[in-house]
Structure 1
Amino acid sequence: MPRGLSGAAGPGGSGTTGGRYETPQASELQRLMWTKNGTSGHLDRVLPRIYVGDMYAAKDKRTLHAHRITHVLNAADGKFNVNTGARFYRDTKITYHGVEAFDVPSFNMSRFFAPAADFIKNALSSPTAKVLVHCVMGQSRSSTLVLAYLMIHENRTLADAIRAVSAGRNISPNAGFLEQLRQLDKELNSRRAGI
């Protein structure tokens, strides 16, 4: 386990200091993702009723039906990405939400954190719902939105969210997305601490 993520603060100032959590450095978070506990299939269950997948899984209605997927969050929506949309699923009972994001570090993914997290939360309010969050490869954009959901609605720290998701799938948010998640982590932890 990387220094500072086991509860004691390391030289980088991460972990907890006197009982107070501090957001780990990006390099420490990346090491958490390098554990390779997860897989890299087309569709992997990362948490109860939450799946992360790639564009092939998103377009395979038979597989979606077999996994009883009821909601799809496309983190790579649009004609230059994975152009499915609600019309693609019109012959199914799938509820669709699209985010037109590009997998480049300069892209502002943080503006989609709350709407995507709310979509997942609302979907999971039904006890039989299952959500697929996907992008092209199922590693950067999709995992970023699942991590944001866990932080916003399940009150997890970024490090805990990464541990949870990477246990079921190999994930790799790009450097810009990871920095935006670190910023979210800092904001949420300040709110929790009443700062």
Structure 2
Amino acid sequence: MQGSSKMPHTRNSSSLTSSTSYETPALSDLQQLLWLRGGSDNHVDQVWPNIYLGDAWAARSKTTLQSLNITHILNAADGPYSINTGAKYYADLQIEYYGVEAFDDPSFDLSTFFYDAANFIGKALNSPGGKVFVHCAMGVSRSATLVLAFLMIRENMTLVDALKAVSAHRNICPNSGFLSQLQDLDIKLNEERKGTRASAAKGL
């Protein structure tokens, strides 16, 4: 249960939908996109180079984390009422820990953590030998949403491309509220990209 045997996308893979005509799909279309994917149901899967997405079992299995050479952990279900591991739990592994006390509830505003989580994942990947494990209880909603946000913010991907990239390796299912928050992020980033392209065109 080390992870998917399929190789994750390379970082320089060109975005399929990052054209000037891209528009953020409706929530129902995004949900349909998730139903059609064929990822795995392992405890942990590599969904992007050096980004592993998984569940609470993998988070508590130090042998699994060691075998994957994990250097950073992002717990999207931190806190006494959830997966209460914390930095002390991993003290003997020299793992850098970041906890987000989020609830898998459509009314919970996870978007306030999007940029901090993306920065933590980006920092992990840029560190020597950096490998980051992002998890919640099941590894399908809270943690998946933060990985998707990272791909959109730091890898310049559209929400559609991010969903395709991750769900090709792991079956994910962000709740409707989280998908809606990712929609809002997608619209914002798309507008920023259009503005940047317009500025570049004026400068020519």
TM-score (norm 1): 0.89
Give unmatched runs, 5+ long, in structure 1.
Answer: 1-5, 8-14
Summarize deviations over 1:117-143 as a string: whole Å, max 9, x none. 000000000241111000000000000
Q: Does 1:125 align with 2:112?
A: no
CA distance in 2, matches of 1:153, 1:131: 15
| Per-residue deviation, 1:36 | 3.5
Query: SS of the residue aligned with 2:42?
Result: coil
The RMSD of aligned alpha carbons is 1.5
Choose 31-40 or 101-110, whichever is displaced more: 31-40
CA distance in 2, matches of 1:53, 1:129: 17
Residue 42 of structure 2 corresponds to 41
Q: Does 1:69 align with 2:70?
A: yes
Residue 12 of structure 1 corresponds to none
Residue 87 of structure 1 corresponds to 88
Aligned structure 1 segments of 4 or more residues deviating by more than 4 angstroms: none
CA distance in 1, matches of 2:95, 2:37: 31
Residue 184 of structure 2 aligns with an amino acid whose one-letter code is Q
Residue 31 of structure 2 corresponds to 30
Residue 6 of structure 2 corresponds to none
CA distance in 2, matches of 1:130, 1:110: 23
Residue 143 of structure 1 corresponds to 144
Query: SS of the residue aligned with 1:72?
Result: strand
CA distance in 1, matches of 2:127, 2:149: 20
Residue 102 of structure 2 corresponds to 101
Bigger proportion of residues as helix: 2
CA distance in 1, matches of 2:76, 2:148: 13
Please tell me whether the aligned partners of residues 41 and 171 of structure 2 are also in contact (alpha carbons under 8 angstroms).
yes
Query: SS of the residue aligned with 1:51?
Result: strand
Residue 157 of structure 2 aligns with an amino acid whose one-letter code is R
| Per-residue deviation, 1:20 | 1.8
CA distance in 1, matches of 2:117, 2:135: 12
Please tell me whether the aligned partners of residues 37 and 164 of structure 2 are also in contact (alpha carbons under 8 angstroms).
no
CA distance in 1, matches of 2:49, 2:36: 21
Summarize deviations over 1:54-97 as a string: whole Å, max 9, x none. 00000000000001111000000000010000011011111100
CA distance in 2, matches of 1:36, 1:189: 24
Query: SS of the residue aligned with 1:103?
Result: coil
CA distance in 1, matches of 2:186, 2:128: 28
CA distance in 2, matches of 1:25, 1:175: 11
| Per-residue deviation, 1:178 | 0.2
CA distance in 2, matches of 1:40, 1:27: 23
Residue 155 of structure 1 corresponds to 156
Choose 183-192 or 31-40, whichever is displaced more: 31-40
CA distance in 2, matches of 1:102, 1:162: 21
Residue 41 of structure 1 aligns with an amino acid whose one-letter code is N
CA distance in 1, matches of 2:109, 2:22: 26
| Per-residue deviation, 1:30 | 1.1
Residue 75 of structure 1 aligns with an amino acid whose one-letter code is A
